[in-house]
């Protein structure tokens, strides 16, 4: 079992397989970075898998593949199959913008993927295009349908932003409710890579909008899910991810690995250690020791919390860390 320095059990690994992306979401990566990590500096799937095995053997029970846009990395289904074959009961999921799902969904399901989280920030062509800086909506919706047809369980992520998509939160909820996809609104996490104009809604502002049409009750918090769930009168459950709440980090159970082999204990802070050398030298004990050390030094909580007044801005890039 993996436990961090604050006694939190860590059983969830997020693996970013690329920082590259085919979208330029305002809240994440409005400009292409000056330089991408050269492809030769990335860990191969075999190398990433070596670390995933270390992590699973030490107690990781859930692995999520993310990015950048993970479907941009060729052969993702081979990586998925490696993990699915290694541990049949692993909770294996993928977070994607869905743009490449129309072609990829069936291959991913055949490789052993069970679940996907997709980003839907708007159901209007022009607004979706403004957020992603590309005409994406029709293809994204086709991708979601393809995933559902392939038997993948779908969850939807939405980042509400003032003056951009805050008038669509009910439409997005209803799109999801009709299809029985849980939706989770994610409070915008301030970071210096985002567009200067990005301004998020906090949880109570999001709830106030949903309340205009629906009654709902707050659910008991379950396990270490980052989502605070709410139940509508008809039983449909939506969630809000509230990193600005002071107690958000109390049940954090996750650790993140980037495509270049950097192990990151917290989405907010820059602190990290590389497992690249250990993995490339096949020194599994060293990789396991680095994992333990990173966990021992996992920060207690992020600095987005509004407890002390102003929210601070992280310098970590979501597209690199994988959200
Ligand atoms: N490209 C994929 C996607 O968009 O789903 C996976 C990577 S993306 C970094 C993972 C998640 O992080 C997405 O749900 C995205 O909405 C979320 N995200 C990115 N930047 C964010 C920010 N500044 N605040 C809150 N969520 C953010
Ligand atoms: Fe790309 Fe996802 Fe970031 Fe949007 S949120 S720019 S789709 S990595």
User: All domains of the chain, ordered by start, with CATH?
Assistant: 12-156+252-321 (3.20.20.70)
Residues in the chain: 323
In the reported structure, the alpha carbon of residue 200 is separated from the centroid of ligand 1 by a whole-number distance in angstroms of 13
pLDDT tens for the chain, 323 residues: list them.
999 989 999 999 999 999 999 999 999 988 888 788 888 899 999 999 999 999 999 999 999 999 999 999 999 999 999 999 999 899 999 999 999 999 999 999 999 999 999 999 999 999 999 999 999 999 999 999 999 999 999 999 999 999 999 999 999 999 999 999 999 999 999 888 888 888 999 999 999 999 999 999 999 987 878 899 999 999 999 999 999 887 888 899 999 999 999 999 998 888 899 999 999 999 999 999 999 999 999 988 888 886 655 678 888 888 988 88
Q: Is 29 in the pocket of ligand 2 (CB under 6 A)?
A: yes
247-252's contacts with Cβ under 8 Å and 24+ in sequence apart are 248/301, 248/302, 248/305, 249/299, 249/300, 249/301, 249/302, 250/8, 250/301, 251/8, 251/221, 251/223, 251/224, 252/8, 252/224, 252/226, 252/298
In the reported structure, the alpha carbon of residue 69 is separated from the centroid of ligand 1 by a whole-number distance in angstroms of 10
Q: Among the bound ligands, name the one nearest to the CA of residue 20.
A: 2
- Sign, CA dihedral 90-68-138-235, equals positive
Nearest ligand 2 atom to alpha carbon 67:
8
Ligand 2, atom 8: nearest CA belongs to which residue? Answer: 68
In the reported structure, the alpha carbon of residue 87 is separated from the centroid of ligand 1 by a whole-number distance in angstroms of 27
Q: Is 134 in the pocket of ligand 2 (CB under 6 A)?
A: no
In the reported structure, the alpha carbon of residue 19 is separated from the centroid of ligand 2 by a whole-number distance in angstroms of 9
Q: Is 201 in the pocket of ligand 1 (CB under 6 A)?
A: no
Q: Which residues of 228-253 are buried (b: 16+ CB within 10 A; e: fewer)?
A: bbbebeeebebbbbbbbbeebbeebb
């Amino acid at each position: 079992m993996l436990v961090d320095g604050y006694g939190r059990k860590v059983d969830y690994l997020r693996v970013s397989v690329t920082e590259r992306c085919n979208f330029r979401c305002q809240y994440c990566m409005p400009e292409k970075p000056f330089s991408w990590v050269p492809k030769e500096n990335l860990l191969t799937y075999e190398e990433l898998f070596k670390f995933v095995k270390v992590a699973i053997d030490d107690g990781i029970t859930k692995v999520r593949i993310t990015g950048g846009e993970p479907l941009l990395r060729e052969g993702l289904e081979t990586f998925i199959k490696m993990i699915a074959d290694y541990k049949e009961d692993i909770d294996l999921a993928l977070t994607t913008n869905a743009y490449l799902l129309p072609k990829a969904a069936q291959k991913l399901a055949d490789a052993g993927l069970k679940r996907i989280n997709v980003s839907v920030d708007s159901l209007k062509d022009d607004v979706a295009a403004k957020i992603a800086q590309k005409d994406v909506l029709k293809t994204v919706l086709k991708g979601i349908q393809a995933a559902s047809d392939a038997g993948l369980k779908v969850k939807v992520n939405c980042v509400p932003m003032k003056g951009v998509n805050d008038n669509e939160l009910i439409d997005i909820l209803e799109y999801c409710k009709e299809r029985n996809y849980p939706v989770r609104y994610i409070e915008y996490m301030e970071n210096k890579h985002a567009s200067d104009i990005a301004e998020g809604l906090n949880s109570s502002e999001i709830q106030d909008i949903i309340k205009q049409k629906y009654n709902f009750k707050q659910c008991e918090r379950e396990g270490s899910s980052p989502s605070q769930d709410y139940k509508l009168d008809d039983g449909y459950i939506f969630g809000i991810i509230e990193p600005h709440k002071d107690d958000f980090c109390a049940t954090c159970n996750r650790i993140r690995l980037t495509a270049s082999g950097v192990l990151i204990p917290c989405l907010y802070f820059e602190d990290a250690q590389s497992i690249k050398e250990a993995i490339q030298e096949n020194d599994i004990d060293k990789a396991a020791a680095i994992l333990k050390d990173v966990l021992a030094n996992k920060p207690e909580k992020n600095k987005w919390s509004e407890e002390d007044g102003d929210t601070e801005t992280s310098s970590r890039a979501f597209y690199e860390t994988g959200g």
